[in-house]
Each structure stands twice: as C-alpha cells, then as structure tokens.
Structure 1
Amino acid sequence: MSFTNPLVYGVPCFLGLILLELTYSKHHKDKKDLYNKKDLIASLLMGIGSTIIAPLTKTIAAIVLFNYVYDVFNPEINGIRTNIMGWKSFGYAWYIWVICQLLDDFSYYWFHRQNHNVRFLWAAHIVHHSSNNFNLGTAVRNGWFTIFYKPFFYMWIPALGFPPEMVVVCLGIEALWQFQLHSVFVPKLGIIEKIFNTHTMHQVHHAQNIEYMDKNHGGFLNIFDKIFGTWKALDENIEIKYGVTHAPNSYNPLIILTHEYKDIWNDMKKSKNWYHKFMYAFAAPGWSHDGSSLTIKQQQRLNKKVK
C-alpha cells in the first residue's frame, strides 16, 4: 500500500499562511516588525533549497534505508511478513497509525534534542534558530544538512514492523505540526497545554534567554520533555529575545548554512590535543578546553548561583 507524504499538500499552504500572517502583522501596531524583508527572503530561499533536496532524502530514507531495515527485520515467511522477534509485521489499522505516530514523536524528541547537544549536529540545526524573528517564515528556515542524518533516528520503527510508508507519512504529519507552532498570535491554550507542544512552548524553544535555552524539544506532544527534564512553560513576565547567541550576522543563505562549521574548524585549531579537537566537534555547543566558553548547562548552573 502506498501513501502520499502530507507535505506535498502542506508546502503550498505554508506559503499562503506566511503571506496571511505577514499581512495580518502589518495591521497591528505592536507586530509591524514581526517580519524583516531580508530575513524572510533568506528563510524562503533556504526553505526552497530544502524542498529541492527533500525528494533525494525521501529516496534515501523511504526507498533505501527504511525499506532495507524493514526487509531485514521483517522477512517474508510463507508469504507473511514476520518480525525476527516472532510477531507479524503491522498492518494499517487506525491504532497502528496512532502507535506509529507516538513512536515518531519519541524519535523526533531525541533527534531534536541531539541537534542541540552535539555541536556537529547543531551546526546543521542552528540554521533554523539563526533568525532574530519568530514567525511562520522562520518555520521554513531549515538547514539543508539535517535531512541527511535525520532518517537514522527513525529506522528502528520499521525494524519493529511498521511499514516504511507509514513512517514517512508520520514524519510528514510531524512536520506540519511543527510549522504552525511558529506563531506569536496564538496565546496559551489552557488544558491543551497539558498534553501538546504549543505555540508558547515553541517560543521558549526559540529564545536565547539563558533560562529558556535547550528547552521544549518535543514534536506535537510535550510528555517527553516533561519525562526527561527539558520542559519549560512560557513566563509572560520575561521578555523573549529570539535567535542564537553566536548569530551569523548575514542574510546570505550560504553563510547562514555554513557559519557554524567554520566556527568549529576555528575552535579545533585552538588546541593540538586530538581529544580537544574531537570535543570541539562533538561535545555540547560552547564546550572549550580552557573555559573560554561555556555550554548551556554550565551557563544555567552559573546563572542559578548568581541569583
């Protein structure tokens, strides 16, 4: 059975909603600066690049990697797909879809969290956080390199017996939810906040305020942030500053896409010790061998002591 990735329909909607939010913001005095023209153009160019690269990634993920893993762990025995652990591979019942979406969300949480905890991955993901604006235009400001390693965080799902095309659809649904979270016009949503990752929670995630950094990594649920200690609600008494502490300071898409890799290389040259070089590339962003820069956790601990 084959399915169409929902992003095929989502992309035209993204552009329409960006235009709608842009127009709406211009008619509100306190939100007239929500969009910066050059910043929006840079975001759209990077979004277009991701859209062009996506079909290649889908081929790698769905046709090659996911199908390979699915076939290896779920061989046909007497014409029936059977997992190597002994159960029948899963079909397309509604509850199987629900379970697959939950597993997808779990994978997204760890994929997203590692993008913030491993500097080499952060170099690809920082693109999405590099804008000082938080709007639907920022939602499409995606790095071109994350999509090459993202499938590896999900391949355990087809290994369990979930059809590869089901996993791809769930990935698309996750992306649709993530897009609409990038809006300041949606207030706190009451009881919905108990379960779902909402717009105000995602504002926290995009903030560079020290108490907000590396929080709210979830996809459409916030349960994994709460379980693993990375959840934080929006404090409306704190003025949010969006973006990153080491911004590319450029609207050139190529600089935005690659500036952190350049910074990693420059940091690796600070020490001749090979362990230090490795840590500059794969430790948490901000790690340094001489204490000249601090990781987010180190900064947050220091901030608590000062308070």
Structure 2
Amino acid sequence: MVVQAAEEILLKLSTPLYTVLILTEMALSHWHGKKAYTLKDTLSNVYLTSLNMGVDILIRAFYIGVLLYCYNWRLIPSWPSAFGYWLVLFVLEDLLFYLLHYVDHYCRLFWAIHVTHHSSEHFNLTTGFRSSVFQPLYRFVYFIPLAMLGFHPADIVLMFSATQIYGILVHTSYDIRLGILEWVLVTPSHHRVHHASNVAYLDKNMGMCLIIWDRIFGTFQAERTDISIRYGITSQPEDMGPVNMVLHEWRALWRDVRRAPNFRTAFLYLVKPPGWSHDGRTKTSKQLRNDEAMGRP
C-alpha cells in the first residue's frame, strides 16, 4: 500500500510534466521540420509501455515478497542518517541499474527482451516509454543486494520509479547542455549515443541518471560531430507489427540455436553478446568496431 501510494504521487506529479514536454517537443519538431514523431511510432511506444506495466502489475506481489524476505535478513539493521540512507540508495540503485543494463546489452538472452526499447528509428520523449516488456520478470533480482543492505523494498521501488522520470526525460533529440554536470549526469546527448545504431556508438552509455559508471567501466562515448546518428538497431525487422515487435529477436535467437552444431554452441548463442556467431556469419559490436578501425567492410 505504501509503494502504491508513493507511486500515485509520482504519477500525479510526472504526468502533467510529461504531457507538457511531449506536446512542446512535438510542436518544436514540427516547426523545425525534424519529423521526430510519427503516429505509428508513438502508438507503438504506448503499446509497449502498457504491456510492461501489465507484466509489472502481475508479478509485483511476488517480487516485493522476495525483497521483503531478503530485507528481513538485512546486514544493516538501521541507517543513522535519513539523508545518507536516501543518497546511498540512489547511488547504489543507479549502479545496479547500470549492471542490469550492461547485461541486457551484452547477453543475447536478455537482449532479446531489451531490444524493443531500441528498435524505434525515431528518438523523442515517448521513446522513453518504449519499455522492455518482460524486464519486470527479472529486474528485481538486481535489487536484492539493496534489501540485504537494509533498504526497505518500498523505498527501492520508489527510488526506481523516481529515477525513471529522469531516465525518460533524456530521450530527446534537442541539445540540452548541463555544463560541468555532464561529467556526472546522463544527458540527452549521452543517451542519443546509446540509442544510435552507428558502429561507434553501439552498446555505449548505459547509465540511467549517472554517467560516472560508463566513465569508470569503459562504456562511455561522447557524441561526435563527424557522425550522423542513425536510430534503431543494426538489423531492423521489416515486420514491426504488435507481435513481431516484441518477439522478433526471440525468433532470430531460436533460429541461431537450432543451427548450432552442438549443445555448447547453442548455449553460447544464449549467453554471448548479440551478433556473436560460431562461424563468423554475424559479428558483435566489439568486432564491428575493430573492423571499422582496421578499414575492413
């Protein structure tokens, strides 16, 4: 009940903000001839976030129960400072989201879930709502360490919901600069790179709110003036209907698993990065970057 009440407050605060900003971006996009929005793409984003919310609602009691169980075995009985509690929760939860996001990009099984967030060839505020439909099924696992450290599950869920607001707002093609804060915070420029399908930009800038994790762990890439951004994924499916939009990468993964010469190779198709193949037929983002650096097609 506490989680629900807190999220209702966030919803009441964020909905008018989203509405005003989306309508403003739509108007500016039309005025500047950017064509950042299409009706089909916007409806697809609404459809995907609705599915994601449905999955989350269905399993919420389960994952909160798991977090509560872990919280009962917490290593830190109480935090001496409320400010320290919320600050550490914010930083650690953002770090764990970075880890989740990294795995989503570098493990094909989880990429099959996350790819829907990247399959739009447009980039605007509604892209932030283009959710990975099945991510709620496993996302909570990454937050178990927080419960073990003494953070209440209600606070964990609330913090994730709050940081998602910022995560949505950086989905814009408009150039909003933050000065020195860009060394610490994710900006629209950073996140444009993340959504690009250009080889130099693949699997970069994974942070939700803090860009420091990308700088620390080597996944940071600044936006380059010599690269014209292409949004979407490297192999864009022709069929972007409501079913294939969600399942196209699962079908591709299944085809690769079936053509594997043995069980070990089939397993590697599940856990290796997207693009990995046992015969070199397709390539990972790292291999593609190496080819580009060497001047190979």
- Tell me the TM-score normalised to structure 1 length: 0.90
Aligned to 1:89: 78
What's the secondary structure of 1:253's corresponding residue? coil
Which residue is 2:180 aligned to? 191
Q: Does 1:41 align with 2:43?
A: yes
- What whole-Å deviation, never above 9, does each CA across 1:74-109 have from its counterpart, x for those lacking one? 3xxxxxxxx3xxx43337712210110000010010
CA contact (8 A) 1:178 1:219 kept: yes
Mapped contact 1:287–1:295 kept (Cα < 8 A): yes
Residues 279 and 148 of structure 1, relative CA distance in 2, 3 Å threshold: same
Partner Cα separation in structure 2 for residue 192 and residue 108 of structure 1: 20
> What is the rounded CA distance, in whole Å, between the counterparts of 1:217 and 1:257 in structure 2?
21
Structure-2 residue corresponding to 1:79: none
**2:289 matched to 1:288?**
no
Residue of structure 2 in register with 1:2 after alignment: 2
Q: Distance in 2 between matches of 1:12 and 1:251?
A: 30
Matched, 1:298 2:291: no
Following TM superposition, by how much is the alpha carbon of 1:186 offset from its aligned partner in structure 2, in angstroms? 3.1
Q: Which residue, 57, 62, 71 being the options, matches 1:60? A: 62
Q: Which residue of 1 aligns with 2:171?
A: 182
* Partner of residue 22 from structure 1, selected from 23, 26, 29: 26
Q: Partners in 2 of 1:18 and 1:156 — Cα distance?
A: 36
Larger mean CA deviation between 53-62 and 240-249 belongs to: 53-62
Confirm or deny: 8 A CA contact 1:204 1:232 kept in the other structure.
Answer: yes
Q: Is the 8 A contact 1:118 1:284 kept in 2?
A: yes
Structure 1 residue 158 corresponds to structure 2 residue 147: yes
- Shift of the 232–210 alpha-carbon distance from structure 1 to 2, 3 Å rule, reads same
Distance 1:92 1:45 in 2: 41
CA contact (8 A) 1:174 1:220 kept: yes
Deviation at 1:134, TM superposition (A): 0.6
Write the deviation string for residues 106-164 of structure 1: whole angstroms up to 9, x where unpaired: 00100001100000100010000000001012111112111111111111101111111
Alpha-carbon distance in 2 for matches of 1:271, 1:225: 34
What displacement does 1:270 show? 1.3
Cα deviation code 1:161-217 (max 9, x no counterpart): 111111111111221111001011233322121111111000000001101111100
Matching residue of 1:80 = none
Q: RMSD in angstroms over aligned alpha carbons?
A: 1.9
Aligned pair count reads 292
Q: In the alignment, which residue of structure 1 is the partner of 2:244?
A: 255
Find the aligned partners of 2:54 and 2:104 in 1 and give their Cα distance: 22
Given the two structures, how large is their TM-score scaled by the length of structure 2?
0.92
Q: CA deviation at 1:16?
A: 4.4
Give, in angstroms, the shift of residue 2 of structure 1: 3.4
Please give the alpha-carbon distance, in whole angstroms, between the structure 2 residues aligned to 1:24 and 1:54.
Answer: 34
- Report the residue type matching 2:42 in the other structure: L
What is residue 190 of structure 2 aligned with on the other side?
201
Q: Give distance in 2, aligned partners of 1:165 and 1:277.
A: 39
SS in 1 for 2:243: helix
Unaligned runs of 5+ in 2: none
Residue of structure 2 in register with 1:69 after alignment: 70
Structure 1 residues 237 and 188 mapped into 2: Cα distance closer, same or farther (>3 Å)? farther
Provide the rounded CA distance (Å) in 1 between the counterparts of 2:154 and 2:80: 11
User: What's the offset of the Cα at 1:234?
Assistant: 0.8
1:41–1:234 CA distance, 2 compared to 1 (3 A): same
Where in structure 1 do 4 or more consecutive aligned residues deviate above 6 Å? none
After TM superposition, the structure 1 stretch with the greater mean CA deviation from structure 2, 8-17 or 219-228, is 8-17
Verify the 8 A CA contact 1:39 1:251 in the aligned structure 2: no
Identity rate of aligned residues, in percent? 32
Name the counterpart of 1:107: 96
